[in-house]
Structure 1
Amino acid sequence: MTKYLMSFPSGEMQFAEEDFQTVVDESHAVIQEAKDAGVYVFGGGIDESVPPVMVAHDGTVTEGTYPQTRQLEGGYTVLEIPTREEAVTWAAKIAKACRCPQELRQFGYDPMS
């Protein structure tokens, strides 16, 4: 089966403050559904209060990140699903629960994983 990344920038979640708990509950319900279906691999959000660092081959750590990922934030879900069509279905469920579109990306096949 193929692993798919579903993600969104945190700024895209648009809903009224009074709907916060509903969004949380619906999001958790979709993730539980994915777990129950046996397709859930990982999910979570980037902790935007912790700045990113770069780690070099020798272990040297420097503050910052690649320029193209400077704005990397938001929520991520990885599901392992047999078809892209099913991945689109799951992305739509997550989009509905989170109140924002999901970017869908497919991981390349790694024979060692």
Structure 2
Amino acid sequence: MDKYLISFDRGAMDHIPAEDFPQVGEDAHAVCREAKTAGVLIFTGGIHYDTDDETLAANPAVVDTNGLITDGPYPESKELIGGVFVVEVATREEALHWAAKVAAACRCPQDVRKFMYDAEV
């Protein structure tokens, strides 16, 4: 069995009207429940960005090899991940199947990437 990261960029859901978000949430939760029942869901969640937090405590930070911490990348970047859905499935086709379900629920395209296998971890 292989693990796959299914994700979308921050801002990918910006086209959705605010009044549609409750239904999007319900649809996304339904896919999560289905994946749990199927035994394939490892983890899922949206990434929290707090543009009102002056300390940037909830926002990304870059930690360099020497331990230097730099706040950023900043929330304006569309390259940041907006949400993740990690599944463990037998084939790439199964991962794409779940990505299609997530895409329909979240109303945005999904990126699908296979994790490298490492017996040590």
For the superposition of Structure 1 and Structure 2, which TM-score range results when normalised by the shorter chain?
Answer: 0.7 to 0.9
Question: 1:111 aligned to 101, 113, 119, which one?
Answer: 119
- How big is the shift at 1:72? 1.3
Q: Name the aligned partner's letter for residue 3 of structure 1.
A: K
Aligned to 2:34: 33
Deviations 1:29-49 (A, max 9, x none): 001111111111111122112
> Where does structure 2 lack aligned partners over 5 or more consecutive residues?
51-57
> For 2:87 and 2:102, how far apart are their aligned partners in 1?
11
Partner Cα separation in structure 1 for residue 27 and residue 90 of structure 2: 24
* Contact 2:6–2:110 (Cα < 8 Å) also in 1: yes
Alpha-carbon distance change, 34 to 53 in structure 1, aligned in 2, over 3 angstroms: same
Contact kept in structure 2, 1:48 and 1:73, CA below 8 Å: no
How many matched pairs? Answer: 110
> Paired residue for 2:82?
74
Q: TM-score, normalised by structure 1?
A: 0.85
Q: Distance in 2 between matches of 1:32 and 1:12?
A: 23
**Structure (1 or 2) with the greater helix fraction:** 1
- Aligned-residue Cα RMSD (Å) equals 1.9
- Give the percent of matched residue pairs that are identical in Structure 1 and Structure 2: 50
Give the TM-score of the pair, scaled to structure 2.
0.80
How far apart are residue 60 of structure 1 and its match?
Answer: 4.0
Superposed, 1:1-113 pairs within 5 Å as: 1-13=1-13, 14-49=15-50, 50-57=58-65, 59-65=67-73, 71-113=79-121
Instruction: Structure 1: state its 5+ residue gaps.
Output: none
